Structure 1
Amino acid sequence: MRPISYLRAEDIDGAVRTVTADPDTHFLAGGTTEVDLLRQGVLTPRRLVDINRLQLAGIEALPEGGVRIGALARMSDVAADPAVRERFPLVSRALVLGASAQLRHMASMGGNMLQKVRCGYYRDGESACNKRRPGSGCAALGGISRTHAVLGTSEHCIATHPSDVAVALVALDARIHTRTSGGERVHDIDGFFLEPGDTPDREHPLEHGELITAIELPPLPLARHSSYLKVRDRESYEFALVSVAAAISVESGVISGVRLALGGIGTRPWRARRAEELLLGAPATPENFARAAREELSAARTTAMNAFKPELARRTLVRALETLTRDGDRR
């Protein structure tokens, strides 16, 4: 087994300096992804810097209606937080559905933003995978691809983004706060998850050693009436075949505000902007929901094994919107 050294960080700046100085050094938080990939030989760092002692686990309800979540806050704590449940129920629901209870108690919010794909070809450490070894090819294109992406794909990668809560955060225009050796940065979440394009190994705009410190949910009153709907092969812990994060407000039968994002079908958490555009100002009817869903999924590129996904996504999006508007006007 390849030897790995271990260092426990005592302050943020020290942790950032240590990792930045060595490309073979990684941060370690909950470890629910990092440790798995170490065991499988997919990740091979020389050293791990444990950041769990850093003061980054707080959850703060902001006075204007938003919430600031520390990067080391555990998924279970965020899901149960009263302000998150009241102001952003889709986030709480996505976290509960996103992992088993054991994983939710360990996994950090910052780590969830950076978790690696669950593509079997990436994780076996041997198959052709442009994400793991650029230029080697993509075994999934001609292999088993039932769970793979149909939106945001390229000829180099079709791996599906695995996070549930990231889908909800994309719908909410969350912001990712980070610390680098040069100071603090803020990333709009819309640009935080990169499509594979010609560089599938580059998944985020972060520099090596850039540490996520917080996730900020900006005020969004319509998010109080929101949901996260997940369709999967089994009801117990499983990754999404399709998921929908939805928030909507309806006045006098007309949609006055809507936020939508899709999971399980994209190479990144997929903001359904085309569907939002079609729905805003339109009557809240099943027919309009279906039309918006069809338009959003019209760009899907499928394989023989995942050709069912666009229709499943359309039906799931319609169901989520019908459920949220079933009781009449929502403001």
Structure 2
Amino acid sequence: MEYIKVFAPATVANVACGFDIFGFAVDHPGDVVEIRRKPEPGITIEAIYGDEGRLPTDPNRNAVTVVMLHLLAHLNITDFGASVVLHKNMALGSGMGSSAASSVAGVVALNEMLGSPLTRKELLPFAMQGELMAAGAAHADNVGPSLLGGFLVIRSYNPLDVFNISVPRELYCTLVHPDVEVNTKDARLILRNEVSLKNAITQMGNVAGLISGLMTGDYNLISRSMVDVIIEPVRAILIPEFNEVKQAALDNGALGCSISGAGPSMFTLARSAADAERIGKAMKHTFASAGISSTSYVSGINMEGPRILDKY
């Protein structure tokens, strides 16, 4: 194989009450990576589009190529050469798994080009290396669902133990990205290291309720469980008009509304595409009323994960 082009989807991490243990993939937006073989060994970044020149082109400092270098080292391949083109189709620091989508597209493309020596699930630890470099923590709640599709639960990080749960086919997500940026590292630094027993008990109940509600299609239980008493109250202060936008979403039929990843994007879950579209318009209108432009996306839960767009 001389060339491959792969799309990897954006994701919603945490999903309200599931900090660092829940995440799901959406249909769009997402990043695209192209890899083309070259005769001389080594990985180079030929071009990056959509980043406004902000991302490094050093292969050792970019999430798309760091994961590729880790995979080549694991496979003990020293004579492989390729140039990489990265298409960033979402804002940096958006809370939609921007760096994760790049890492996943890169590692999936390289694995396919090498003849698929590893399964998608076996690629997860390599994709997490991109998160370690980009966000300062090798968490899997973005790269996991982007790589494996669907709604993912990370039961344990040591050892790494992840699994998918079923969700209602009619479930839709609205993602709204306001034109502000929140740095993931900064968003983690403001979190408390300890929580009260009362909040821990409440959060565990909501985690269990959300899993049960999703797997049984109990929308009322999903709605009651989409409550984050630990992370959201702290991070919400980083998002202008958060409370007003959240209330607009709930008033227009959202099952629940919270922060996507580290923010500033906000997400909701809804019973239908029509509900999700209406909710997105209400959220955008509320941001606009405060002078903040925003972009909205409506999607079902992406069960497929990365897609190969072209290869030869």
Q: TM-score, normalised by structure 2?
A: 0.31
Higher normalized strand content (fraction of residues): 2
Does 1 or 2 have the higher relative contact order (CA < 8 Å, sep 6+)? 2
Q: TM-score, normalised by structure 1?
A: 0.30
Higher normalized helix content (fraction of residues): 2
